[in-house]
Structure 1
Amino acid sequence: MTMQRGRGPLALAGAAVCAAVMAGPAWAADEPGAYGYDEAARTVKGGATSTDGPRLPAGSTYRDSIRAGQKLYYRVDLDAKSNAYLSTVVVPGPGTKVAGDRVRVRLEDRRAGSCDTEDTGFTSSAAYPRPVTAVVARVIEKDRTSCQEAGSYYLVVEREGAPTADPGPWGLEIGHLTEPAPKAGGPTAAPSQWPSASPPPPQDGPRERHGGTGFHTATGLAQGEWTDTITPGRTLYYWVPVDWGQQLFASADLGSSAKEGAFVGGALSLRLFNPVRSLVTGKDAYYSGKQTSAALDPVPPVAYENRYNAGDSVSGMRFAGGYYLAVDLNPEVVKDYGKGPYGLTLRLTITGDAKNGPYDGPAGEFAVSDASRQAAASGQKSGQRSSGDTADSAMPVVAAAGIGTGTVLVLGLGVWTLAARRSALRSG
């Protein structure tokens, strides 16, 4: 990153304070439904029209909010060779009514032609506030003519509020990632078969690990058995590095209660998201006070050619990188079994040998490095890890972004003071 002239350490520290203030208030960390936003996200305001939309450069995260019946525009500038993925995490406020609410996300070209669209929302079986995600993409395809040229495109986020839902603002966390072009001569057809039998669960004993509250604060996990606790209304996030050629198997168990009886449908939910935050697959389990388990159906090994399959559970496994597991506990559990916390056990198995990537150049987020494997095994947060093609020396810089604002200010003042002293010595 190139720094502008005239921006000394004190100015940079002040900028960090301003950025923290602009991010706005956050829900209390222990409040059910709280979401852990990217602390480095830039706060923007979506435009009412395409000409008003703020520009969202790739490689960054952005924050906004949206009310019922509102449509917001954002501008993205794309080249003619890279695939682009725009994720929108929709975060209702804790305790709000969400039944029937929908959010529609589209990517349009300059002629208002649709490049991609995805809807997300809350079904009757999961009508409680929790983060939901929609991802749209501009993909370079040989036989397609629309949405292939370089230029301006528009991300459109529209919230369709149901009469029974809360019209108040919902949070938005928007990500923009680009995928490099592959080498020439790669496969152009989806695999027709892969190992579908789940391997035996890991037997090396449970280890304790506390999940995060968002994609950026997701806690790293490696293969093994992990224990945590979860309260009703909470969503916990974990990330797992999965390399090219590797296959992920995952399950979540909810511990028993002191009493049994009442049936709560869709009580426990386990969802898998890929590196661009697109939902790959999920599984729900009911709860009756007895221990219950939600195990993901087998997904294929990570392969570039998976994208040529129409099904989400196959095409979603198109990248190497950090995959995310989200575990939800339905707040309805409180009525019959109390506020908890409840015991949670995650079991992860990763099979297959890592293979070389398909890209013609640096892979960025779409790769797995030794550093990211070590970060996951040690439980580092997703936002603190380096990307697959980033040098290990970048880790301290990334981690520094998560330091509290007060600490950043103190460090900035210290550096400024030292610089002033050195300047005085040189001038003396």
Structure 2
Amino acid sequence: MRGRGRTTWWRAGDRPPGAVAGAGVVTAVLCAVAALPGGPATAAGARDSYAFDPAGRSVTGAKGTAGAPLLEAGRVYRDSLPGSGTLTYRLDLTAAESGYAPVTAVPPAGTTGNATDGIRVSLEDARGTRCSTASALFGAGLSARPLTALGQRQTGRSLCQGAGAYYLLVERLAAGGPANGTTSPAPAWDLEIAPVTEPGLAAAGPTTAPRNRDPASPEPLTGDPRDRTGGAGFTSARPLGQGVWRTGIAPGGTLFYKVPVDWGRRLHAVAELDAATNGHGYVGGALNLSLYSPVRGYVDGASLGYTGNRRSAALDPLPPVEYANRYAVLTGENAMRFAGDYYLVLHLSQKMADTFGTGPFHVTLRVRVDGPAHDGPRYDGRPEPRDVFTVTERDREAAVTGNAGGGGVGMKVLAGGGIGAGTVLLLVLGGWTVAARRAQTRASAQKPTA
């Protein structure tokens, strides 16, 4: 390396000037590169590997409405839910906007429980009127996994209208008795909360659900599957489009995918669990397939019992995405109210390991997205996050390649700028070199001249 016309050599093990600061940056970038979608760390859906949003802010829920911390739409929050009691948070909503507060609870490693263990999420107005209640449970698989439930306040309803403070309540559900058969307190579960607001319409729209939709299930796609490893959380969900996809998943593992679905288009998915290579017996709820909306609200789910033979589970027929679906009575139809990323979540029961081995087991996803796309409603304002109800050309490309959309805010910024991880690494190494040269120049300038 050169400085002021002379060559300086470093011995092995020496640090060049400026290396200390540069090393930290390079290490951070290497960590980010290793965490890119499709990395080997989560290739088989490792147990307890939920990827929280790295930009999530720590918050502490209150025991009641007094002192409840404010949650701002468009931000993600982290907290810890105790084994008993209720945590309370505050949302400030205008009269014209709908509010959504999805809560994901992540049990710690080694958690066991009953089918009815889980969480309940409610939203209330300042007078204590219940706007919504939703629960998420372990279910028939008896396997601990990330659970997501949604609290919501929708405009145009008879209850919970007007501007002001609304309160989000999160509580644990348990079958009763001490945790894990002991007298020790139940361990806390980590929480991720991602509030969203939806503005009202600029002009009056329909107030009834669409009719005359096709109730039949679309034919599953055929063809050779392509490999597509899932992400480890909502933020790192792997982009997925129409096609036949294949992944490996370990017992107790959970994989997240996101499918961009535009206004007027319809989504259908089937998950197939391959035959086991060893073992025999029966596992109830062996594979669970769940669908969540762009605001992480539950849409539909299917699960299958497993005897070692190839089995499949399919989502119920769903309507095309339309704004007026919010007036439908059925939960699945009502939730198909936004364009944006719909999340497919796979979970393989931990009990598979006891009967059929540790795997990984191969799962094939057959995803169909059909129907003519059209322009969406004209909102009187913008949602938060700003792009939550938008499907872009970049999203469609990512659904084919699977290369964009993972890793949280930092990686999204890089992907949005069209900068690959390898390019970032070269830029950092280049910056390290420049810093070293400047440091060497300063050091040379400070030495006394002969």
Question: Which residue of structure 2 aligns with residue 375 of structure 1?
Answer: 398
Q: Do 2:238 and 2:406's aligned partners in 1 also have CA atoms closer than 8 Å?
A: no
Superposed counterparts of 1:276-291, under 5 Å: 276-291=295-310
| The one of 129, 134, 144 aligned to 1:113 | 129
- From 157, 165, 169, the counterpart of 2:179: 165
1:251 aligned partner: 270
Alignment-derived partner of residue 16 in structure 2: none
- 1:267/1:286 contact within 8 Å kept: yes
Q: Distance in 1 between matches of 2:169 and 2:208?
A: 31
1:42-61 equivalences under 5 Å are 42-61=57-76
Q: What is residue 36 of structure 2 aligned with on the other side?
A: none
Could you tell me how far apart the structure 2 residues matched to 1:359 and 1:117 are?
A: 29
Partners of 1:177 and 1:101 in 2: CA distance: 27
CA 294–381 in structure 1, closer or farther in 2 if over 3 Å, else same: farther
Who is 1:153 aligned against? 166
Shift of 1:377: 1.8
Deviates more, 1:287-296 or 1:44-53: 44-53
Match of 2:231? 212
Q: Secondary structure at the match of 1:52?
A: coil
Per-residue CA distance 1:318-369 (angstroms, 9 max, x = gap): 1110000011111111122100011111111111111100132556311211
Structure 1 spans left out of the alignment, 5+ residues: 1-9, 21-27, 387-392
Contact 2:231–2:237, Cα closer than 8 Å, also in 1: yes
Q: 1:241 deviation in Å? A: 0.3
Contact 2:68 2:88 in 1 (8 A): yes
1:348-363 alignment to 2 at 5 Å? 348-360=367-379, 361-362=381-382
| Distance change >3 Å, CA 59–CA 304, structure 1 → 2 | same
Aligned ranges 1:314-325 → 2 under 5 Å: 314-325=333-344
> Is the 8 Å Cα contact of residues 256 and 290 (structure 1) preserved in structure 2?
yes
CA distance in 2, matches of 1:184, 1:281: 31
Deviation at 1:385, TM superposition (A): 8.9
- Structure 2 length-normalised TM: 0.78
Closer, same or farther: CA 285–199 of 1 in aligned 2, 3 Å: same
Residue 159 of structure 1 and its aligned partner are, at CA, apart by 1.8
Largest Rg, 1 or 2? 2
How large is the RMSD of aligned CA atoms in angstroms?
3.3
Name the % identity: 40
Shift of 1:193: 2.9
TM-score of the superposition, structure 1-length normalised?
Answer: 0.82
CA displacement at 1:205 relative to structure 2: 2.4
Q: Which residue of 2 aligns with 1:365?
A: 388
Alpha-carbon offset, residue 200 of structure 1: 3.3
Q: Structure 1 CA distance, aligned partners of 2:432 and 2:414?
A: 22
Match of 2:243 in 1: 224
**Is contact 2:405–2:415 with CA below 8 Å preserved after alignment?**
no
Answer whether contact 1:66 1:171 (CA < 8 A) is retained.
yes
Cα 1:75–1:366 change in 2 (3 A) is same
Tell me by how many angstroms 1:394 deviates.
5.9
State how many pairs are aligned.
Answer: 387
Partner Cα distance (1:200, 1:97) in 2: 37
Decide whether the 8 Å contact of 2:196 with 2:295 is kept in 1: yes
> Contact conserved, 2:236 with 2:408, CA < 8 A, in 1?
no
Asked whether the 8 Å contact 2:231–2:257 carries over to 1, the reply is yes
Given that 1:68 and 1:168 are in contact with CA atoms closer than 8 Å, whether structure 2 keeps it comes out as: yes
Aligned-partner Cα distance in 2 for 1:204–1:122: 33
Alignment of 1:119-130 (within 5 A): 119-123=135-139, 125-130=140-145
Aligned to 1:88: 103
**Counterpart Cα distance in 2 of 1:305 and 1:160:** 33
With over 3 angstroms needed to count, the CA separation of the structure-2 counterparts of 1:279 and 1:133, relative to structure 1, is same
Give 1:338's aligned residue.
357
**Secondary structure at 2:286's aligned position in 1?**
strand
User: What does the per-residue CA deviation read over 1:138-184, in whole Å, with 9 as the maximum and x for residues that have no partner?
Assistant: 1111x62x422222221111224431535001011101001121242
1:176/1:164 Cα in 2 relative to 1: closer, same or farther (>3 Å)? same
What CA distance in whole angstroms lies between the structure 2 residues aligned with 1:264 and 1:105?
Answer: 29
- 8 Å CA contact 1:119–1:134 kept in 2: the answer is yes
Where structure 2 has 5 or more consecutive residues not aligned to the other structure, the ranges are 1-20, 32-40, 181-185, 443-450
> 1:25 — aligned with what?
none
Between the aligned partners of 1:185 and 1:375, the Cα distance in structure 2 is 34
Equivalent residue for 2:287?
A: 268
Partner of 1:390: none
